[in-house]
Amino acid sequence: MTGKLNFRKVETLTAPGRHSDGGNLYLFISPSGSKRWTFFYRFGKDHEGKPIRREMGLGSAGKGEVSLAEAREMAVSARKLLNAGKDPLDERLAIERAGRGVPTFGSFADEYLESHRTKFRNEKHIAQWEMTLSKYCQPIRSLPVNAIDTEAVLKVLQPIWKKIPETASRLRGRIENILDAAKAKGHRNGENPAQWRGHLKTLLPTRQRLTRGHHAALPYDDLPAFMAELRARESFASMALELTILTATRSGEVLNAEWREFDLTKAVWTIPAVRMKAGHEHRIPLTTRAVEILQALDQTKTKKNPFVFPGQARGKPLSNMAMSMQMRRMKRDNITVHGFRSTFRDWASEQTSFPHETCEHALAHRISDKAEAAYRRGDQFEKRRKLMDAWAAFCEAGMTSIAA
C-alpha cells in the first residue's frame, strides 16, 4: 500500500526513525530532527543466499527540498528498474560515473547565469532566470548536463505548461539556451531536447491564449496563418490591422495616422510626440509590405481627409472599433489588437538574438537607465529596421501555404 503519508504529516512528524509511505519509500528523521527520503529494497543475494537489503537516498525532505510528490516519482522510477531486473542504486551510480567531468545541469546553469550577468537588462530579469532555473528545474538540476533528454525536459515543463503558460514558455527557452551552451563547450552531443520547432511542439499542446495584463495575445506560432487570412480580407480595417501588426504599434497610433507623417521614399513613419504615450517622437522603419499597404491606400486618399484610414464622417479617422470588429468577423474575438505587441515581444525574445534595447525601442518603450538611453540614440534605427524586416518575413511565412 502506498500513500500513507501526506503533506501535513511530512511537515509535522518529528519522531526519529523511518516513517513508511508504502512502496519502499520512507521518510527518515534523524535524532537531530533533519529529514530525508530513502528507498529501501532488496536486490541480489549474499554468500549465504539471503536477499541483500539496500538503501538509496532520494534527497532532503522539508520546505524548499524534495517534496512528497517528487519523492514518490523517484520511488516509482526505482520500482520500474527493480521490475526490469535492474538495481536502482547501481543504475544511478552508472549515470554518475558516465557524467564524471561533466557538470550537472544545476551547476552549469548557475555558471551560465554568472557569465551572462552583464547581458541581462536588469537585476529583476536575472532574478527571474534564477528563480525558474532553481524552482522549476529541481528534478533535473542534479543530472549531468549530458543526461538531459526529452523525458527530463518534459518532466519540468508539463506540470506548469497549462497552469502558467508564459512562464513555462520562457523556461523552455532558457533550458534550450543552457543546453546549447553546454553543447558549445563540448559537454553534450546531438539535438537539443528543449527545442520547440520540430520537437516539443509535437509533444506539448500549443498555448491557445497568452496574456500580458488584460490584453489577450495570439501565440506567435499561430501568427503567419492569421496574417495570411487577414490579408485575404481586403478592407480598410484589415489593412489597418495588418499595418498595426507589422509596425508593432498601438491601434490609436495607426488609426490616427496622417499622411504628413510618412516618407514612403525613405520608408519611414515619424509619429509626433503629441501622439505617443511616452510623449516622445517615434520613428518607425517601414517594411516592404508596410509600404505596399500605404501605397495602395495612397491611391484612395482625398484632400478632404488627412487621415491614412479615413472614417465615414468627413475629417474623421476610422472608428477605434474597426480592427476589433475585423477580428470578430474572423472569429478571433478571444484576443485583442493590443495583444499583438505582446506577440511581437515574445517572438523577438524567444526566436531572435536582437538586443533587448532594440526590441524595447521598437515598441516605443521608455528606457529609464541613462546609459541605455544614450545607447538607443545611436544606431538603433537601422538595427530596428533589420528587426522589423525579420518580423515581416516571419509574418509572411503563412502566405506560401495559402497561395498553394
Q: How many CB atoms lie within 10 A of CB 144?
A: 23
- In the block, residue with C-alpha cell 545541469: 105
Is 35 in the same domain as 154? Answer: no
Q: Does residue 88 sit within a domain?
A: yes
Q: Does residue 254 sit within a domain?
A: yes
Q: Does residue 262 sit within a domain?
A: yes
Is 267 in the same domain as 395? Answer: yes
Is 226 in the same domain as 351? Answer: yes
Q: With helix as H, strand as E and coil as C, how does the chain read?
A: CCCCCCHHHHHHCCCCEEEEEECCEEEEECCCCCEEEEEEEEEEECCCCCEEEEEEEEEEECCCCECHHHHHHHHHHHHHHHHCCCCHHHHHHHHHHHCCCCCEHHHHHHHHHHHCHHHCCCHHHHHHHHHHHHHCCHHHCCCEHHHCCHHHHHHHHHHHHCCCHHHHHHHHHHHHHHHHHHHHCCCCCCCCCCCCCCCHHHCCCCCCCEEECCEEECCHHHHHHHHHHHHCCCCHHHHHHHHHHHHCCCHHHHHCCEHHHEECCCCEEEECHHHCCCCCCEEEECCHHHHHHHHHHHCCCCCCCCECCECCCCCCECCCCHHHHHHHHCCCCCCCCCHHHHHHHHHHHHHCCCCHHHHHHHCCCCCCCHHHHHHHCCCHHHHHHHHHHHHHHHHHHHHHHHHC
Is 226 in the same domain as 311? Answer: yes
Burial of 187 (0-12, 13-18, 19+ CB in 10 A): middle
Domain termination residue (choose one: 205, 234, 263): 205
Domain termination residue (choose one: 76, 98, 120): 98
- Long-range CB contacts (< 8 A, 24+ apart) of 2-8? 2/72, 5/68, 6/68, 7/67, 7/68
Is 176 in the same domain as 232? Answer: no
* pTM score, whole prediction: 0.48
Number of domains into which the chain is organized: 3
Q: Does residue 210 sit within a domain?
A: no
Inter-CA distances, 102 with 20, 98, 146, 172, 320, Å: 35, 8, 7, 22, 58
- Which residue ranges in the chain fall short of pLDDT 50? 209-214, 369-373, 375-376, 379, 400-404
Q: Does residue 2 sit within a domain?
A: no
- State residue 371's pLDDT score: 44
- State residue 287's pLDDT score: 95
Is 123 in the same domain as 181? Answer: yes
- State residue 254's pLDDT score: 93
Is 91 in the same domain as 143? Answer: no
Domain, as residue range, for 50: 7-98
Is 63 in the same domain as 142? Answer: no
Q: Does residue 1 sit within a domain?
A: no
Distance separating alpha carbons of residues 58 and 80, to the nearest angstrom: 16
CA angle 215/205/231 to nearest 5° reads 55
The answer to whether 217 touches 339, Cβ cutoff 8 Å, is yes
The answer to whether 366 touches 280, Cβ cutoff 8 Å, is yes
Q: Does residue 273 sit within a domain?
A: yes
CATH code of the domain covering residue 169: 1.10.150.130
Convert the pLDDT of each residue in 222-237 to its tens digit.
899 999 999 988 788 9
- State residue 403's pLDDT score: 36
- In the block, residue with C-alpha cell 552531443: 189
Q: Does residue 147 sit within a domain?
A: yes
Is 175 in the same domain as 270? Answer: no
Is 120 in the same domain as 248? Answer: no
Is 229 in the same domain as 373? Answer: yes
Is 197 in the same domain as 307? Answer: no
How far is the first Cα of the chain from the last one, in angstroms, to the nearest whole number?
59
CATH code of the domain covering residue 328: 1.10.443.10
Domain termination residue (choose one: 174, 205, 236): 205
